[in-house]
Every structure is written in C-alpha cells, then in structure tokens.
Structure 1
Amino acid sequence: MQLTVKSLIRTCLGLAWVALAVLLAAPRAHADTKDGDPVRQDVSFRGGGGLVLHGTVLTRRDTPGTRSTTSPGIVLIGGSGPGPRDEYRQEAEVFARAGITTLVFDKRTVGYSTTHRDFDLLADDALAGVRLLRERKDVDPHLVGLWGFSEGGWVAPLAAARSSDVAFLITLGGSGYSPLRTETWNLGMHLRHRGVGGSFRGVLAGPAAQLMDSTGLFPAADHDPRPVLNRLHHTPVLALWGAYDNQIPPGESARIFRESLDRAGNRHVVIGFVPGAAHNGHRTTDGFDRIGGPLFHGKPLGELPPGYARTMTSWIRAVAAGHPPESRTAPAPPQAMSSIPVPGRTWWAWFLPALLCVGFAAHPLGAVLRRGPAVRPVRWLSGLGLLTVVGATLCPLAVYVAGDGAAAPVLWGRPLAWLAVQTLAIAVLVSAGVAVATVLRRHRTWGRAALLRLAPAALATIGFVPWAVWWGVLRP
C-alpha cells in the first residue's frame, strides 16, 4: 500500500511538471506561429551557366483552407557585394506578409568579384528565379516580377527587357548612369561629408576615373542603362529612390528613367521618392546613418519606413488586379551635388604615369650598374619623382578599392596621404632646379655619352610638370 501511494505521488508530480512545461512553452510556440508571420522554404535552383544558387521562398502564413487563389510573386535582386539573402530579409517579409510570394537568394560567387561583373549573367540568375516562382502552384505564373536594389537597378531592367515572363519591375536606388560615373558621384559625396575638397575630389572624378576605365580595373564601368530602359515598352515600372540617397544621383537618375521609359512608350511608370530614407530605402537622418533595424555585419540596416512598404505592396496589388497605375512622377528632392561625366578611356591615361616612372627610375638604375655619372641631385630628383608619381596614382585608386575611408585622416581639406604627395611634388620641382644647376656646372667634364644617360631623368622631369598639374598634385 505504501509503495502504491509513493507511485501515485510520483505520477502526480510528473504530470504537474509536464503541465508546467507545456504552459511555459506555449507562449514561445505562439510567437513563432503568429498570424502574418511568413513561412520560409529553403530552395536551390540553377542560375546562369548552370550554377546552383541557394535561396528562400517566403509566403504568407494563412489559416488552413483560406487561400483559394494564386498569388503574385517577386524575385529580389540585391546590390553590389556578396549579397547574402539576410540583407534583404525585411523587404522579403514585407512582400510575403502582403500575400506576395517572395524569392530572395544568395548572390553568386562564381563569375562575380571585385574586378569582374557580368550583368548578363546576373540577369540570367534573376530570370532563373522567375522561372522557379512561375512553376509553383501557389503563384500566378503571369504575375511574377522583379525588385532590384542599387546594382540590381541595372540587372533587373536587363532581365525584364530580355523576357516577357517578367510581369512588373520595381527598382530602388537604380542609377541612370554607368557604374563608373555613379561611383565617382558616390565617392565624391562621401568625401565631401568627410570634409575633403580641393583637387583630390576632381582627380577622383576625372583622371583617376579615366585611368580605372582605361585599365579595365573597374567592373562593368561603361554599362549604359538607357538602351535597356528604352526596351521596356509595356512592363509596369515602379522606380523609387530614398530622399537622402547619397550613393547614386537620385534626381538625375529619376529624370533619365522618366525620359528613357517615355521614349519606350511605356504608359505605366511611377517614379517616386521615399521620405526620410537612405539609398537602401531604410530610415536615416541624413543618408549617412541608419536608424534601427537589424544588424548586418555589425551595422544597423535601418528600419523600413511604413510608406515605403505600402507604396510597393499597393502598387503590386494594382498591377495584379489588372489596373497598373498610369505614369506619374513625384517632385525630386534637392540633390546635393551634380554628377560629372567621366572622361573617355584612352591608352595614355595609364601610359603617361608608366612612362614617367621608367624615366625617373632609369638614372638611379644606371648609376647602380655604373654606366653613368653619379650625380647626387639627379638621384634625389629621380627618387622623389618616382615616389610622387606612384603615390599620386595610388591615393585615388585606394579610395576606389577601399572606399572613402581610405582618404582618412583629413587635414586642411585634403587626405593626409594626398597632402604628403603634394609636398613631394614641390620637392621634385626644387630638386629639379638643384639638379639643373649641378649639371650646368659640371657638364664640361663629361662626354656626350654621359650627358645622354641623364636624358631619361630630364625628359621625365619635363613631362612631370604638365602631368602633375593635370593629375592635381600641383593644384590646391
């Protein structure tokens, strides 16, 4: 009898613990399955060139038996960089909660790098995503569109222009200019924010940009989006920019989008600006910060402004209902700085600095080999000239590679490294004067062959002056 009572007590205690555990777990389970929380399904599909891509399809969580019709679908095309799908989770959830089946996927790592971009290949990936959604039973195959952000603003229109399977197009922060001209504006805005002025910003948008283009170091530098937009004759387009976009020229880009799509005869183009939003459409105070939102690589992405989400989802509903909005253009907010056309590519953009380096290096190299007179001032001139040309070339290129942070610290409105290069340029001119005086004083004791060996340094010095003025190191 005593054993039976103990067993009964143990059983009751066990049931109590189970009940308590169920009660404690119930709120967590409810939070994970609350109404409107998207359902996620990991998928894999083959993109351009047969590469396997990985992504997630998000759909609205509906009460069982309530969804009787198919939904529109949308494929998200991210901006430049590695582009993992988590960066666009907020947008994907907004679309899914609105009943729009959404595919967001990790960008390819094959055929895409810092120095190589193939927009055609990225467009193939986007169209592969469209095909994946069109094959789903819960998606209307005639209502699958694209959303392209930043770099995706070049890729998504290209995909839409190539396939009638794309039912509509949304761009956010899409540029009307080439990637190189867009980047020069972007870097100029950020350098201005850091307090950089003077010749350095002009060099970045002029000679340095021309050098990047001429050497092929900048990927897809000359891609022109206008011919692509001219081919979007019937695809409804919603083109948006953050009011504080500081990475592409929003006012100029909106004008180009409008003119190009008008030229295409497209009557369903809505152009707008998201108040209080940065380049990525998220909340900001000035375009350089982000307010709230999840962290991505340790930095906040910013929250989505309510108006931004409503604008996109209501526009898609109108398209899905067969009533795409008629064309209209919202007034553009003031653009802080105009963009500057990038000089055309030319062989001498890289040949001139290379030739100067060879000329300056020839004298000290010849002296080491003991084939010429060892003139100390000429050695100083050659060394300083070589250092100046290399430094002047690398300073702006470092900003293109590493971003505006490579210009820090800033002193007297100039990057400290650029200020050092400008000081070296003045030292080159001083050394040139000393070297000329020395050669004039001693040349009577040298033969013609010895004087000819000084010719490379002399010619390099003569060429250095106009090059240094053009490159900005001898300008304020």
Structure 2
Amino acid sequence: MRRGALLLAGVILALSAPPASAADSSDVTFTNGGVTLHGTVVAPPGGTKLPGLVMIHGSGAHSREDYREQAVAFARQGIATLIYDKRTEGYSQFSRSYTTLADDALAAVEVLRTRADVDPSRVGVWGLSEGGWVAPLAASRSAHVAFVVTLGANGVEPSRQQAWAIENQLRRLGMDGSMVRMASSTMMRQLVGGGVFPEAHYDPVAVLKSLRQPVLGLWGAKDVLTPPGEAVPIFRDSLQHYTLRVFPDAQHQLRRTTDGYDKLPGYAPGYLELVGTWVNHPPAASSADAPPPQDRPSFVVTPLAWYESTWLQLAVLVFLLVAFGFGLGRGAARPSRWLAATGLLTVVGFLVVDVLIQVTLGRNLGPVLAGRPLPWLALQLLSLGVVAATIGTAVAWWRHRTPRLGVLLAGGVVFVPWAVYWGLLGI
C-alpha cells in the first residue's frame, strides 16, 4: 500500500512537471585533491528551495552524459541534479580509492549547496553499483549530505561481489566445474593476494551502520552483478532509516530486462518516479521489500595460504617454462620429448586461456562440451598427457640418470600439484 502511494504520487508529480526540454543546464567545476572535475547541474527553471542530488558513477570510466537522461527526469520532478565526469587521475582498473571518490562527491555536494535555487539542507547523493559503496561512505563523512539513494548497491565486499558476478557469467554460457572454480575463486584470490584488485576487502556494513541519514535502496530482482538477495537484508539490518525496493523485471542498472543480461529500452516502471517522490517527501517510517530469490550465494574470497602466494606461483610458472623448454633439445628419449612438448604447450595455453577468461569473461572461448569450453577441455587432456609422459620420463631417468632428464622430470613432478591447483587436473 505504501509503495503504491509513493508511485502514484510520483506519477502525479511527473505529469505536473514541465517538459524535459524546459530543464535548465549550467556547467560547473570543482576540485578535490588537486584534481579539477567538470560537471553540469540540471534543474527546473525558476525553482526555489529545491532538493539537490549528486549522481555518483558506477565502476569504470564514465562521463556526465551517461547519467544525463536520469538527471533530466529528476529535474522534471523538481530536483536540482549534478552530474559530472568521473576522475581519471588516481582511478584505474588497478588503482582506486573509495575515500577519494567519496570526497569528489562531497565537493559536488558543496557546489549544489551554494546555489540560490537549492535548499542546502536537502542535498543528497545517488550512487550506482560501485557508487553504492561510495555514496554511503560520502554520507558517513559529512553531515551536509541529507540523504542517500543507491542502485544495485552491495552489502558484501568488492572481491566477493566480483567473484559472484564472474561465476554467473560463466554458468550462463553453460560452463561448470573446475574452470568456473578457477576463474571465480582461485584467480580471484590470486588477484586480491597480489594486490591488483583495489579496495578488494572494503567493508560496506560498517559504513551502513554508521549512517544517520535516510537511505533509499533500489535493486533489480534479476541483477547478475550484485547479489540482491543478500544486499536487501544487509541494508535492512544495518540502517536506521530506510526504504528498500526491489523491481521484479529489472537488471543491475534498473533497466528493463528479461534475464538480467539483456537491456531493454527504458527503466523499470516506477523507478524514476519513486526517486523523485522519495527525495521530495522522504517517508517517516522505514520499509523494505522481501529480498529477491538468488540462484546461488556469494562466497568470501579467502586469503592465500603460504604455498599459494603470488610470488611462489610466478616462480613455479617460470620453472615449468624453463624445465619443459630445456627438454626440447635433440637426442632426448621419446617420453621426455613428449613431456617437454605437452608440458610447454599446456602451460603456455593455460596462460592464454586465463587471459581470455579474465578479459572476455569466457565469451570468446568457443563451443562448450560437458561444461567445458573446448580450449579448456583440450588443456585438461594435454595435462593428462603430461602426467603420463612424466611417468615415462621417470623410468627413463632411472635408467640413464642424465641432467636433462632430471630437470625435465622435476618439471613434470612440479606440474602435477600446479595443475591440480589451477583446475587443469580437476573435474
């Protein structure tokens, strides 16, 4: 009943608002940490005492244009909305700080608060995806933030969310078994342990529990990037003043969808109106929709054990390449030549396939057979050949005891636990 009233009020507000073309736009600049950021304020003309909203980006590179459509929709509902180009200095795939991004947003909040048509006590932040970590953090750092709106926000740490999303994508392509475990767990743990996953263990719960501002949390029930079935109860149990809503046929960005992966024209019905209504008239009482069903739970990305350390893995990789390359010389016995060839091909092939998985999330690996893309299945068959050739080389070494056979045999012996760890000798 409460949700229906909010949506009805939003529709009435939208119908009575001026058309999209009537929204005024004015460019602004602001600075944080020596970096100048450029943005645009989209607001209804002639407004007074307007609420203000700063839109915070999702992950990756974004410009203000990515959010202009929504900013215009909010302006039509009487909200002065600031959109800005995301920083590039100090932000990349391998380096970022949520604190810095939160300070960027707070600098934008101050821009809105100084406008003559904005009520400085009614300026809040809106955050999508990664912005769902940043927006609450910004609010926790400043009493000048009056409210928080999040879309597709996470209640779990970034590494856990990313592992869940990778597994979803691979399973959608029909993959299963050891390759999925390698990509979503083993490789993720290596990236985190190697320090190339920024903000991997950021704790959103501590920040949510510290908030005193009202929060509007929105999720698509078919979100495949953020585990929404876990996020809703985490937000509900952590916040003091909240409105939590789930849209049944919406994806991560609250676009209409059939399966969470396709993006149909338009946003989920009622989303834009709900934000406008809630920002203009925040409800006094907290309320939450039931968490949507989730195919599988996310899992904690655990720290690496000593034998999994990134430097040790790199050392093993180099040793395998050297050992198998050393065995390719002339005059070697047939089992040793087979071991050198299959071992080298398997290790190099694994590196290529792993890069493809990380870059394309498995989309360019070809047909899938028995839950395995053909390149991975080929690598697993080659790995069995390496094991067989290692046994044959051990027999040859026992007979001849040459240094070359010794080095090659050592490579074969080390290969077995390495291949088990990376899933090449797994089901």
Task: Measure, in 2, the Cα distance between the counterparts of 1:213 and 1:397.
Answer: 16
Q: How does 1:28-427 map to 2 (within 5 A)?
A: 35-61=19-45, 67=47, 69-232=48-211, 234-261=212-239, 266=240, 268-292=241-265, 303-319=266-282, 324-346=283-305, 348-363=308-323, 374-375=332-333, 377-427=335-385
Larger radius of gyration: 1
- Distance in 2 between the 1:72 and 1:108 partners? 25
Give 1:457-476 correspondences, 5 Å limit: 457-476=408-427
Label 1:390 to 1:325 Cα distance change in 2 as closer, same or farther (>3 A): farther
Aligned residue identity for 2:421? W
CA contact (8 A) 1:244 1:287 kept: yes
Unaligned runs of 5+ in 2: 1-17
Match of 2:9 in 1: none
Contact 2:37-2:84 at 8 Å conserved across structures: yes
Give the secondary structure class of the aligned counterpart of 2:270. Answer: helix
- Note if contact 2:51-2:119 (Cα within 8 Å) is conserved in structure 1: yes
The two structures, once aligned, show a CA RMSD in angstroms of 2.4
Distance, in Å, in 2 between the alignment partners of 1:98 and 1:374 is 79
Q: Give distance in 1, aligned partners of 2:396 and 2:378.
A: 27
- In structure 1, C-alpha distance between the alignment counterparts of 2:206 and 2:340, rounded to whole Å: 49
Q: TM-score, normalization: structure 1?
A: 0.80
Relative to structure 1, the CA distance from residue 209 to residue 332 in structure 2 (aligned partners, 3 Å threshold; closer, same or farther) is same
SS in 1 for 2:301: coil
Task: Verify the 8 A CA contact 1:279 1:287 in the aligned structure 2.
Answer: yes
Deviation (angstroms), 1:249: 0.5
Q: Which fold has the larger relative contact order, with Cα–Cα distance below 8 Å and residues 6 or more apart in sequence?
A: 2
Kept in 1, the 8 Å contact 2:24–2:42? The answer is yes
CA distance in 1 between partners of 2:82 and 2:395 (Å) = 72
TM-aligned CA distance change 1:390 to 1:252, over 3 Å = farther
Percent sequence identity is 42
How far the C-alpha of 1:392 sits from its partner, in A, is 3.1
With 431-440 and 380-389 compared, the bigger mean Cα shift is at 380-389
Take 2:373 and 2:130, find their aligned partners in 1: how far apart are those partners?
Answer: 28
Figure out how many residues of one structure are paired with residues of the other and give that number: 410
Greater displacement, 374-383 / 46-55: 374-383
- 1:407 deviates by 4.2
TM-fit CA distance, 1:397: 4.6
Moved more, 119-128 or 84-93: 84-93
Aligned equivalents of 2:106 and 2:131: distance in 1? 13
Change (3 A) 1:199 1:287: same
Q: C-alpha separation between the residues in 1 aligned to 2:130 and 2:235?
A: 15
Shift of 1:412: 3.2
Gaps of 5+ in 1: 1-33, 293-302, 444-449
Q: Which runs of 4+ in 1 moved over 6 A?
A: 367-370
- Cα–Cα, structure 1 residues 406 and 162, in superposed 2: closer, same or farther, change >3 Å? farther
The CA deviation at 1:354 is 2.4
Contact residue 24 and residue 45 of structure 2 kept, 8 A = no
Greater shift in the superposed pair: 324-333 or 236-245: 324-333
SS in 2 for 1:278: coil
Task: Tell me, in whole angstroms, the C-alpha distance in 2 between the residues paired with 1:403 and 1:364.
Answer: 29
- TM-score, with length taken from structure 2: 0.89
Name the aligned partner's letter for residue 78 of structure 1: H
Letter in 1 for 2:284: P
